[in-house]
Amino acid sequence: MKRALIPGTFDPITGGHLDVISRASQLVDEIVVGVAASPSKNPLFSLEERVALAREATAHLPNVEVLPFNCLLVDFAQDIDAQILIKGLRAITDFEYEFQMTALNYQINKAIETVFIMSPPEYMYLSSSIVREIASLHGDVSGFVPVCVKDALEAKFA
């Protein structure tokens, strides 16, 4: 049985994230969406809120579970018995960063393979930071995030 880990801060989870998660869920038996604590990023939503939003947003995918983590990514992958890391790529800048991270992760644990899924054009521009900025200015984010996230952002910026 193949288990994959899709890691991220998910602050908040977006349509682009959901696209990668949904497509990946068709490639492996089980997906764990790993929500990183990422305190250095000063997330808008707490870890508990981000996990809850990701769980609600992925509830329709039967082979997906959402778990928080606050350790080295490859250690978390090993702890949950994930053989594959799946990362979404939007642009060349994503690739450069992820290429370096993949090389580092491989040096730490050669048993964990990294697979990249390219974003379709409609999500290539989309990021959590852009969504947060639009929401902070009371713009409509409904085309970029699930309803639960839209509601949570509206509540944060009310």
The neighbouring-strand residues paired with 84 are: 4, 113
Selected catalytic residue, list 2, 41, 60, 138: 41
Place of tokens 């984010």: 141
Selected catalytic residue, list 17, 50, 132, 150: 17
Selected catalytic residue, list 25, 50, 119, 128: 128
60 catalytically annotated: no
17 catalytically annotated: yes
Sequence-distant (≥ 6) Cβ neighbours of residue 19 within 8 angstroms: 88, 119, 120, 123
90 catalytically annotated: yes
CA atoms of 65 and 33, how far apart (whole Å): 6
41 catalytically annotated: yes
Selected catalytic residue, list 55, 90, 127, 156: 90
CA atoms of 92 and 96, how far apart (whole Å): 6
At 101, the amino acid letter reads M
Angle between helices 47-58 and 15-25 (to 10 degrees): 60
Which residues belong to the active site? 17, 41, 90, 128
